[in-house]
Amino acid sequence: MVNLVSATLQLYRQVLYATGRSFTKSWLAMVALIVFAVLFVGVSRIAAPLGIGGGFILGIVNALLVGATLRLIEQSLSATRTIQFSDVTESFGHYFWDVIGVGFVLWIPTMLLDMGMQANPYGQFLSSAFLLLVFILLNPAPEVIYQVRHDSPLEVIKSAYEFVLDHWIEWFLPFAILILPVVLSPSGLLEFFSLSDRVGRGAGLDFFQILLLPFTAIGGWLSYLGFDSEGQWVVLLLLTPPVAMALLLFRGHLFAALRGSSRRQRLFSHQFDAK
């Protein structure tokens, strides 16, 4: 057990080092993330009064921005590559159909669930529980899209599910630490269910969801450290983009490291290095 803990900590140290290296080379991608967020807010306000048509427009823009973000993260993971402005403009269109496809596959059961639970007195709880399950089992879907060869949205879902089954401890432990203050707050479980409800609907492929987790986590830590509500907003606005970028890079490096080795291989490698 001690060796397993040491091997896991060594894994996280390697991933953190790789994340820091990538972050210094991808500051332009973080700026692009901010521009994408402003663009998405603008389109959301335009599309809101348009009903179903506005929803389709917003879905297309979301897929474009999420696909572009994943492409920039993919390029940022390289040890030798520095993100250029041409990379940002070239990123549009990448993974568009992957995001659309996975979103559509998840939209159908989610829509049926919402309709079926309207008359159920426990409908809200059951719906949140289902979306929490989706959030857990399909959590690495964004990384599967740009790191794993696949031919259909169902293969993305299958690969994400299998990855979670094989590496759930190493994958979710950093996430658990990140949101710990949120869960431990007086309304922590309700807030966590609300977070998973929103994030689970798109398996992490909704653009605002990319920013929602770091935003919520930072807010939880600021409250835990005693920041007042007025001061929080300034800090939240300043910290959310870099933390979101760092989190995306960390996830990408962690996914690659876990997918490239088994728990037994990492344990054997750690024991060999310790000698």
Rounded-to-integer distance, Cα 96 and Cα 68, Å: 8
Q: How many residues does the chain have?
A: 275
Cα–Cα distance measured from residue 248 to residue 214, given in angstroms and rounded to the nearest whole number: 10
Count Cβ atoms below 10 Å from residue 78 Cβ, excluding itself.
13
Residue given tokens 């060999």 in the structure block: 272
Query: Is the pTM here over 0.75, yes or no?
Result: yes
**172 closest CA partner among 13, 30, 12, 7:** 12
Task: State which residues form the domain around 56.
Answer: 2-274
Query: Taking the CB of residue 43, how many other CB atoms lie within 10 A of it?
Result: 18
The CA distances from residue 250 to 210, 245, 246, 253, 255, in Å, are 13, 9, 6, 5, 8
Residue 36, exposed/middle/buried by CB under 10 A (0-12, 13-18, 19+)? buried
d(CA 67, CA 70): 5
| Residue 243 near residue 218, CB atoms below 8 Å | yes
User: pLDDT per position in the chain (275 positions), as tens?
Assistant: 666 678 788 889 999 999 999 999 888 999 999 999 999 889 888 888 888 888 888 889 999 999 999 999 999 998 777 888 888 999 998 999 999 999 888 877 777 776 776 776 766 777 777 777 888 888 899 999 999 988 888 999 999 999 999 898 899 999 888 888 776 665 555 555 565 555 556 667 888 888 888 887 887 778 777 776 666 777 788 888 899 999 999 999 999 999 877 666 666 665 655 55
Q: What single-letter amino acid sits at 147?
A: Q
DSSP for 19-37 reads HHHHHHH-HHHHHHHHHHH
- How many structural domains does the chain have? 1
